[in-house]
Amino acid sequence: MPADRVILLRHGESTWNAEGRRQGQLDPPLSALGRSQAEAVASALAEEAAISEIVASDLARAWRTAEACAERLGVAPATDTRLREMDIGRWAGQLRGAVEAAEPERLARITAGEDLPRGGAERLADLHARVTAAVAERVEACPGGTLLIVSHGGPVRVQVASLLGCEGAAAQAIERPANAARTLLVRAGDGRWRLAYHNYPPPPAAKIP
């Protein structure tokens, strides 16, 4: 029996999140705060839900967050490279302000809805195609109950759009989740997915000295 509940979890803060850098598919680690956030959300999930399966992006910031959850939940995590963040090519590693200053016209066209390759790499349609396929397969393969997917801001938005039956462009209207925030979708009796909550904040993390 496939999963009837899906929890989408964005990874904890990375060192580049803290610096305001665009990440894409480059692989900075979790920051000290990010590690604390991962432990905190793992504790919250252990109290709230019985997780049947955990699948995560293989990028370190998502995988380490998934490992923290797996340790508390007693479920071995799997990886799926299709859950990686969007490939943003030449933008990866750059400060957000630097990209905005260097390519304002391209960013304006993207903001207006034109699906251009981000940094010369993936389009939103590319992200939607791979994430949609991954989510559909993982939901069907899950042994019932709740599936926990640990990934990134872009894929979480696309996953929400996909499960709600929306086209890829609709993902841009969905609020980008905060680090370690989670989203819950529940399958209704008619087989359709319902959004129970989105961008639910994790409990306060321990202060970092």
86: tokens are 């969007």
Verify whether residue 85 is a known catalytic residue. Answer: yes
Q: Considering the candidates 53, 85, 128, 152, report the single residue annotated as catalytic.
A: 85
Could you tell me if residue 20 is left (phi over 0), alpha (psi between -120 and 50 degrees) or otherwise beta? left
- Give how far the C-alpha of residue 70 lies from the chain's centroid of Cα atoms, to the nearest Å: 17
176: tokens are 């980008």
Q: Considering the candidates 11, 39, 128, 152, report the single residue annotated as catalytic.
A: 11
User: How big is the chain, counted in residues?
Assistant: 209
User: Measured between alpha carbons, how far is residue 157 from residues 97, 151, 185, 197 in Å?
Assistant: 23, 10, 12, 13
Q: How far apart are the first and last CA of the chain?
A: 46
Verify whether residue 11 is a known catalytic residue. Answer: yes
23: tokens are 């990440």
Active site residues: 11, 85
